[in-house]
Structure 1
Amino acid sequence: MAAVPITADVGGLPPEFGLIGRHFRPLAGPAALDLEDDAAVLAPPPGRELVMAADTMVSGVHYLPDDPAEGVGQKLLRVNLSDLAAMAAEPLGYLLAVSAPADTPDTWFAGFAAGLAADQAEFGLSLLGGDTTSTPGPITLSLTIIGHVAPGQAVRRRGARPGDEVWVTGTIGDGALGLAVSLGKLADPSGFLRGRYCVPSPRLGLPLAGRVSAAIDVSDGLLQDLGHLCRLSGCGAEVEAASVPMSEAARVAGPGWLAQRLGGGDDYELLLAVPEGRGAALAEACAARGVPLTRIGRFVAGPGAVRVLGEDGQPLAIGRHGWSHF
């Protein structure tokens, strides 16, 4: 894990090498070469294609500065694993870049690494390398995930067709409501919503290849991410608001949070285009893996617009469809 020196110790190694040795070398797998070199040497599994994605999290933007460091490490890894899940890929390893102020407590790095270690054990991957740098702030974390898939079997965002049904895993809106809880705007006696915001659940291992026309993970908001599928596929979509699955905690929050649930993001559930008549079998296969799957609408002919329908079948006015990165 090559590093840009922060300050050099007289007659010794720069202090970031100690940081790497204490917290990140224990996370490294064989391909990382003990984090002694500038790059890893990785052989993909025989007969598989590599799938790669990258995400960045900035303190105060993607997580709150006082969020537990362990959860920050888990969220960083999991949002990247969610990108693999959407393409029906399996994880192999990851590269990590950490930019932090020089006065960041060592205990923060210890907690951050502990979160990564817990999820490496759960999801079966290891650290391959990366970089550490000093910054005036805020803490900025970037992770590149590497996975693998059978040749030609990666599920794309492009491919939905009019008549396909819109299905989603899990429940929608918990991440947005969890952020509201974190900001003191909503009560959460059980802690469920806050937990869903801080540590999402990537839907790895679902049998999507050959069963779905297109897929994306819900990171920026259900409606906005559905719009991405529509735009790339040259069609529109209709969502039945009453069919969008919600957790019991979200139900308690009440109907006034509908717009936030549909447009808030941070759910990291999978949004799927499924050919008509194939949804029930896919839902059964997902349920066998402990993941509920719900039909919430369909793709329609026309420009890439997404409409939300009320129980009377009439369009609802939803002002914000999702999160913008700029």
Structure 2
Amino acid sequence: MANLRKKLPPLTALTAFEAAARLSSFTRAATELGVTQAAVSRQIHLLEEDFGFPLFRRLHRKIELTEKGKLLSAAAGDAFSLIADTVADLRSDGPDDELAISATISFSHFWLLPRIAAFSRAHPEIKLRIITQDARTSIEASDVDLAIRYGTGTWSDGQAELLFEDEVFPICSADYLLTADPIRTPQDLVGHPLITSDIDDPTWTGWDEWLAAFSVKAPKKARGLRCSFYTEAIYAAMNGQGIALGWNRLVADLIQQTRLVRLTEASIRTRAAYFVVVPARKPKKESGRLFIEWLREVSAIS
């Protein structure tokens, strides 16, 4: 290393030369480097003295590289580009690399996004990418670093850690409650429009299962709105279109904000739970470990 330093000219002078050669201007090089034009000119003059020959031809209002200057410019440009690429690769492996998190639309919308700003404030160096999708894809075969899933916790593409279980109860808007017939028991729900969602998950709790838990038979022809996604069902309830089933963890904030009302103390525990899943065979990122720690802390209090 000592011999290498003796062979190389000063790095400051090389940096000034590379910028001036690339931009064909001492003035523009000075602007890019944040120094004066005189400082750039002085560094290049020192470099030329060290070599013993000129690197630029100073013409009227412009500069041109000499033949030897062109050789040095090509070598310096390649060297600086290699260093820049290597630094970028090293940084991409660090904790400030983008962390890709997959979550269902409803979990992302109602639980994760309202809370995630706290994580970003605690770890501003970590870039987050939130991928919202209800269709479950393999995290081993994708660029997802971790997934938050609702289910039983047994997935072949990753290792699952329980975040929290949940309970389900009927919800509606305050406006709907003011105009609707009184609702005191689960049986009273049958005469109201019951909002449903087409969730392709056998562990998801629907109206039939919820009412059956209280020995109430669901109407054969429900007159409530049918939605493709659970998120739509919640918004329909907030807009007074009927009664939906609320997952406590997902709607607790909306109830606290009085955008939704819990109709009864009657509730049932869900058959599944929320888990954070990490790929079994992918390298673990430090940013992922920090995010999971944060999830544990927040899950314990909200």
What TM-score do you get using the length of structure 2 for normalisation? 0.24
What TM-score do you get using the length of structure 1 for normalisation? 0.22
Give the structure with the higher percent helix. 2
